Amino acid sequence: MTVQLRPATPADVPHLERWDREPHVIAATSDDPNADVAFEDAEWLEEISNDDPASAYFIAELDGRPFGAMQIIDPALERTHYWGKDCPPNLRAMDIWIGEKDCLNKGLGTQMMKMAINQAFADTNVEAIIIDPLTSNTDAHRFYRRLGFRPLERRLFEDDDCLVHRLDRADWRFGEADA
């Protein structure tokens, strides 16, 4: 099973819109028991067509079948300043989600993350990668810790109570995407 990550295109919007309504994606991104979408304000065509060089969306495919997505940003430069206007340079932030329920718990997310981490650290200026799973999402915490991320701080992003994790370049071994 070989995972490919490719840039998202307008043809991926129907997948993103469908995954946005999947209960398992909503549960991973919101503590609101009444939420009916994962990414409430996402206009997917606008998101993936965004000309912000500090933000990119990728689609994960398995044998040509889209099953998940990632966003990789430079948190110091991206336009929304989600991570704060005082976010230091030389970081990358990532979001990952598996949209197809039948693709959960098969190691595909691990492959996606390893590929993205290797890609981020291929830029020698990148010192670390940060992520922000919900504090309540203990499965995500275990997942990220297995990859070498360490909990850093609990932080509110709007109404989301998150446990920020960080992976420093020194703690990552390149080539793990092939393992």
Checking if the pLDDT of 124 tops 80, the result is: yes
| CATH (domain of 50) | 3.40.630.30
Task: Name the residue range of residue 37's domain.
Answer: 3-178
- pTM for the whole thing? 0.90
C-alpha–C-alpha distance, residues 123 and 138, integer Å: 30
Nearest to 113 by CA among 49, 64, 165, 163: 165
pLDDT band at 33 (very low <50, low <70, confident <90, very high): confident
pLDDT at res. 54: 93
Please state the domain count of the chain: 1
Instruction: Report the C-alpha gap between 94 and 70 in whole angstroms.
Output: 7
Percent of the chain at pLDDT exceeding 70: 96
Summarize pLDDT for 97-115 with one digit per residue, the tens: 999 999 999 999 999 999 9
